[in-house]
Structure 1
Amino acid sequence: MAAGGLGPAGKPTADDWLSWGRDSDHLEVVYHGFRKPPAGARLDQRTHGQSPNRWAEGHSERHPEIAKEFVQMPVDVIVSPGSAAAAVKRATSTIPIVLSVASDPVGSGLVASLSRPGGNITGLSLQANEVAGKRLEFLRQAVPDLHRIGILANPGYSAAVLEMGQVEAAARSVGLEPIRLAVSSAADIAPAIAAIKTKDVALYGCIDGVVNANQAQINKLALSAGLPTLYSEKEFVESGGLMSYGPKIPALFSRAAELVDKILKGAKPADIPVEQPTQFELVINLKTARSLGLKLPATLLALADDVIE
């Protein structure tokens, strides 16, 4: 999460920002989006004050604590992923909140609608539910003999539950049997993956702080179990997953920086429509494919925006 931060004397200003990501790698993605603010923006942390960092490391129980800390500083704007936004919304109804990566802000109750968010929240929607079917189409091309798909999700995060439902519907439409795998903490991951360790199953990871923070463990266990993995974000493929299809996350944070700039210049979050991503990418890890014994069709590789070897 990013926010208006602390000035040279420890006084809150609109010119600086601090970050609270899902893990240290995610924090770097946040920084990437904010390092090059829009021309004329008030976000240049290189020349203004301090930039203390905060991240929950996949522990959603810390969201209220960190949100309260931001509010008490106070800060001028808070930039939050969808997984933490509910806690921030409960903590303040006055400080503007910009959603950087929210799976379903309307379905999660964060905003009234995309066109008229209302209240103190605006930002970016990941559209995770709407592209689930396309992800499965790519997976079927990679694994044609697939019959079932395990859906890893945190039942305590409403957006992940919504995504799970969309994936279940999409799976049935293409002849796959969906299997729900609930993971509320890191301790739940190994038993969940062990429960679907067969040759005709793949693993789909829903967007959530728990899943994101433990992606290396998930990919390692899945590979050991011979399970192809499918995600919505490129970083999961970079850490050993098989493939992903979804919005370009750095582009979302860059756009979030622009929305923050608008707010710092006087715009009201209620008047700024929640935007949907316009840049999507298909990423494939060829090394993982080889380890799984998969021979990917040339037609699929030709569609990939990035092939990791």
Structure 2
Amino acid sequence: MQCQKCKKALARSGSHFLCQGPCQGTFHRNCVKGLAADMKAGRIRTFCNNCEEEDSDDEQEDGGQDFKRILKDIQGKVSTLPGLRKQLNHIMESMSLLSDKYDTLLAEHEESKKKIIHLEKSFITISNKNVYLEKCNIALEQRLDKFDQTSRKHNLEIVGIEQLPNENIQALIKTLGDMLEVNTTDIEWVSRLPQRKSCDKPAPIKVGFTVNGTNARDAWLSQRRKLAEISSCDVTGGSQKYKIYLNEDLTKPTRELLWKTKKQLRGTYKYIWVHNGKILVKKGDGDKSILIQSEGDICDLLNK
């Protein structure tokens, strides 16, 4: 075997250097430049001088190629800057437009808030007026009902007299008056009300007394206890034995309020009655009478 550089034979047992580079050659140690210095410095040497130069050239070549590639990348990126600038300008214009729209929306929002506050105040005002008008309407209805009820103070309502064909109502009332032992000369008019479709009982009869006949009407009411012994057949001569009742002539609202009063207060209040168109209740003997003018009065009594 000979040295790759000097071409002289290598000692079989002598020290020599084996290159790990592309040449894979074997050299005398003295033929490899710088090997002694590297060994003295403790550096491990794997390439011969030729392979080191080739490796260095490759590194330089690779470095040059890397530089060219980086330079090309930089140039490519630099070439995109004008397009990026246009995109940036477009973005800035869009941002400016959005900013203007946002300012417009913000102003509209503030204006809407003011309108909403104004509407809320208007709603409260209208609501208060509505409550006031409802109270006025209730008060007006109560006044009208009171006036209507006052106009009926000379009237009576008789319930339970059988209605026969071709009846003579005035004669029936005269017969009933005689049974109750009351005067019938102050009666001004008599009329039977229309029959209710949903009611199988006889239609009531209204009796109107003269203006000066209030005492006569009260006399009839004071004698109604005697009705416990009188039935419809006793007055009409018919077959029905309806129980007869004498009531004050009440308006529809007063009649409905009386019905609600009896329904809700019966059992709690011992006495519930009507006097001169006014509904009165009393809890027990010796207690003070209480006037019922509305459903609110009923609720107040229930909550006590």
Give the TM-score normalised by the residue count of structure 1.
Answer: 0.17
Query: When you count helix as a share of all residues, which structure comes out higher?
Result: 2
Report which of the two structures shows the higher radius of gyration computed on alpha carbons.
Answer: 2
Q: Which has the higher contact order (CA 8 A, sep 6+)?
A: 1
Q: Which has the higher strand share?
A: 1
